[in-house]
């Protein structure tokens, strides 16, 4: 939707994904985890399958499907699920913006389904498949953004060109990640760019539909075009700072968790000793202590 809310909602979606990525990749770096393109086999069964459904995939599907619905049926009473206008004599196409948005959102929803199928349903997780699906979604977004700009005002085009730039860089990074999935620099560059796409869409909504000064940006004023790029550069800086903040927070939390873990260990060894002291057979007490340790650790790190 070429409206205020039509730019705010995808902006929030991209931003939330960026934040999710920032936490996820920070934790992976701190724990020294790596992505495996084809992982080990997993226990079958519907229950363990449902347990494995990833938040990211569900988010993509919910966001994508809601956005598709909104394009066609929002605000209530509207019905745009038609391509041809049959009332006019030469059957012109109508709602081109809506159909382009729907196509975009559908690809992201599809990528969500692929995440769920790969992470929950298949006997082995095929990370490669998930990666290709999300890469494709961003490429389609880039292609549609590019053709989205025909016949628009210069300020609007400038805003969308910068969005396209961020989107295209994400495409490039995702393409490289198909072959190098464990590069930390790529992880965080991707995160920053997705977050920038989000905050930039939020800002774009205000530039195009609710300018802060209350006056619409004139397209023939060169200063406007130059400030658009300028603002985008500030968004980049802001999002980098945000990612650094999230990484620091996660590192702090991770260290605390590490300390809590050591505390648990200390207590367990104390129990062990006292149990030993109470004259129980040491063999038994050790087994018991290990069980207790396992339980405590599970409580602490679910």
Name the site residues for its own copies (rule: CB under 8 A).
83-84, 90-94, 96-97, 99-100, 103, 107, 110, 128, 132, 136, 140, 143-144, 146-148, 150-151, 158, 165, 178-179, 185, 213, 215, 218, 221-230, 232-234, 236-237, 240
> Token pair 């991770």 is at which residue?
254
Q: Which tokens is 224 given?
A: 């406007």
Please give the C-alpha separations between residue 113 and each of 58, 109, 138, 274, in angstroms, as whole numbers: 8, 6, 16, 53
Q: 59 or 94, CB closer to its own copies?
A: 94
> Token pair 């339980």 is at which residue?
295
Instruction: Name the minimum Å distance from CB 259 to its own copies.
Output: 19
Q: 180 or 278, CB closer to its own copies?
A: 180
Instruction: Name the minimum Å distance from CB 43 to its own copies.
Output: 23
Give the CA angle between residues 173, 7, 245 to the nearest 5°: 55
Q: 146 or 253, CB closer to its own copies?
A: 146
Instruction: Name the minimum Å distance from CB 158 to its own copies.
Output: 8
Pick from 6, 2, 92, 10: nearest CA to 59: 10
Angle, helices 127-148/96-116, rounded to nearest 10 degrees: 170
7 half-sphere exposure, CB direction, 13 A CA radius: 20
Q: 163 or 228, CB closer to its own copies?
A: 228
Instruction: Name the minimum Å distance from CB 48 to its own copies.
Output: 24
What DSSP designation does 212 have? Answer: T
> Token pair 């999300």 is at which residue?
134
Q: 53 or 240, CB closer to its own copies?
A: 240
Q: 73 or 84, CB closer to its own copies?
A: 84
Give the whole-angstrom CA distance, residue 245 versus residue 238: 11
Instruction: Name the minimum Å distance from CB 24 to its own copies.
Output: 20
Instruction: Name the minimum Å distance from CB 124 to its own copies.
Output: 15
| 244 Cβ contact list (under 8 Å, min separation 6) | none
Instruction: Name the helix (H) or strand (E) containing 224.
Output: helix 222-277
Q: 217 or 272, CB closer to its own copies?
A: 217
| 46 Cβ contact list (under 8 Å, min separation 6) | none
Please check whether residue 145 is in contact with residue 163, taking contact to mean a CB–CB distance below 8 angstroms. Answer: yes
Instruction: Name the minimum Å distance from CB 34 to its own copies.
Output: 17
């Amino acid at each position: 939707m070429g409206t205020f809310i039509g730019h705010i909602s995808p902006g929030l979606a991209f931003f939330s994904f960026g934040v999710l990525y920032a936490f996820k990749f920070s934790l992976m770096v701190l724990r020294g985890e790596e992505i495996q393109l084809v992982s080990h086999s997993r226990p079958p069964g519907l229950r363990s399958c449902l347990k494995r459904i990833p938040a990211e995939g569900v988010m993509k599907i919910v966001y994508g499907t809601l956005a598709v619905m909104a394009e066609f049926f929002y605000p209530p009473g509207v019905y745009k699920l038609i391509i041809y206008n049959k009332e006019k004599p030469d059957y012109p196409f109508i709602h081109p913006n809506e159909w382009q948005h729907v196509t975009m959102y559908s690809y992201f929803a599809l990528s969500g389904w692929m995440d769920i199928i790969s992470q929950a349903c298949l006997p082995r997780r095929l990370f490669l498949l998930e990666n290709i699906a999300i890469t494709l979604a961003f490429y389609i977004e880039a292609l549609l953004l590019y053709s989205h700009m025909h016949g628009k005002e210069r300020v609007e085009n400038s805003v969308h060109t910068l969005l396209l730039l961020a989107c295209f860089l994400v495409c490039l990074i995702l393409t490289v990640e198909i072959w190098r999935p464990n590069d930390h620099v790529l992880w965080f560059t991707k995160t920053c760019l997705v977050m920038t796409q989000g905050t930039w869409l939020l800002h774009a909504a205000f530039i195009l539909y609710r300018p802060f000064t209350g006056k619409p940006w004139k397209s023939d004023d060169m200063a406007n075009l130059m400030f658009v790029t300028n603002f985008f550069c500030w968004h980049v800086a802001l999002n980098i700072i945000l990612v650094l903040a999230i990484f620091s927070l996660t590192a702090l939390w991770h260290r605390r968790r590490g300390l809590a873990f050591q505390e648990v260990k200390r207590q367990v060894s104390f129990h062990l000793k006292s149990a030993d002291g109470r004259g129980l057979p040491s063999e038994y007490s050790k087994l018991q202590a290990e069980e207790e340790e396992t339980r405590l650790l599970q409580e602490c790190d679910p």
